[in-house]
Structure 1
Amino acid sequence: MGAKTLIGNDVYNKESLDLGDIKEIMLDMRTGRVSYAVLSFGGFFMGMGEKLFAVPWGAMTLDTDKKCFVLDVKREKLENAPGFDPKHWPDMADEKWEASIHSFYGTRPSNGQAPL
């Protein structure tokens, strides 16, 4: 699949609650693998501004029947996830930032090493 076809896909949790949609796909230039999907969650309908989250690619599964991604996280946990606003992206090459994201979602970095 082309990465462009994934942009805008909805993301739900296992309880079928809408968590947002994919805004961007981030590649690890060292390995050539997909590292993160940037998830948009929130927005004015929830009484807050849009918040973005870098979700490790391995934390999501693709539901081909429903044509969406599934992220095994409760909505309340995502509300407290490390995120960023659309105008201030983090340095995704920062190893400490990467470790904190993988620790939060319980995943491993795409380079196969354990989080710090």
Structure 2
Amino acid sequence: MDMNIENGVTTGMYKSDTVGGVQPEAGDGPGPFLMGTKTLISNEVVDREAGALGKITEIMLDVLSGRVAYAVLSFGGFLGLGEKLFAVPWSALVLDTMNKRFMLDVEKERLDGAPGFDKDHWPNMANLEWAADIHAYYGRAMYSA
């Protein structure tokens, strides 16, 4: 069963009362500091002016370190045709619990020029040179595994 916000299923994982670092009360569910990936897939991504940038299509885990490495953002195209995918460092995204979406501090024009790929030709995300380039593009330091 798909449990993302897009289809309206309430999972109890989004909690807006945790803004400012306040921990949720016991029994209120896991979010927003601990959330299931199915809750986040298909969430909208906006720029700092709330302009639509795309949607999260995948969340990539670094299995060896146990950390989230990237969110894969889909942008452009129509009905899945011509759509471009982008690996965005997880640290570049800010979760907006009030609006159930992510904010990426990048202009749409910059995203147009970002290193991307199509659904049939994914990059080798384990390649350290590729990872360093992606993190540098978004102005984020690489985490250590």
TM-score w.r.t. the length of structure 2 is: 0.73
- CA distance in 2 between counterparts of 1:32 and 1:74 reads 30
Structure number with higher strand proportion: 1
Q: Which has the higher contact order (CA 8 A, sep 6+)?
A: 1
SS of residue matched to 2:53: strand
Letter in 2 for 1:57: W
- CA distance in 1 between counterparts of 2:131 and 2:83 reads 22
Q: What per-residue deviation string (whole Å, max 9, x for no partner) do you get for residues 80-115 of structure 1? A: 000000100000000110010001001122317xxx
Q: What per-residue deviation string (whole Å, max 9, x for no partner) do you get for residues 60-96 of structure 1? A: 1000011100000000000000000010000000011
SS of residue matched to 1:82: coil
Name the count of aligned residue pairs. Answer: 110
SS of residue matched to 1:8: coil
Q: What per-residue deviation string (whole Å, max 9, x for no partner) do you get for residues 29-70 of structure 1? A: 22110000000001128xx71000000000010000111000
- CA distance in 1 between counterparts of 2:39 and 2:77 reads 23
Q: Select which of 17, 34, 38 maps to 2:68.
A: 34
SS of residue matched to 2:144: coil
Residue matched to 2:126:
93
Query: Counterparts of 1:9-88 in structure 2 under 5 Å?
Result: 9-44=43-78, 49-88=82-121
Unaligned runs of 5+ in 1: none
Note the aligned Cα RMSD (angstroms). Answer: 1.3
Unaligned runs of 5+ in 2: 1-34
Letter in 2 for 1:9: N
SS of residue matched to 1:44: coil
Q: How far apart are residue 15 of structure 1 and its match?
A: 1.1
- CA distance in 1 between counterparts of 2:49 and 2:111 reads 14
Q: Which has the larger radius of gyration?
A: 2
Deviating above 2 A after TM superposition, structure 1's stretches of 4 or more consecutive aligned residues are: none
Identity, % of aligned positions: 59
- CA distance in 1 between counterparts of 2:65 and 2:102 reads 23
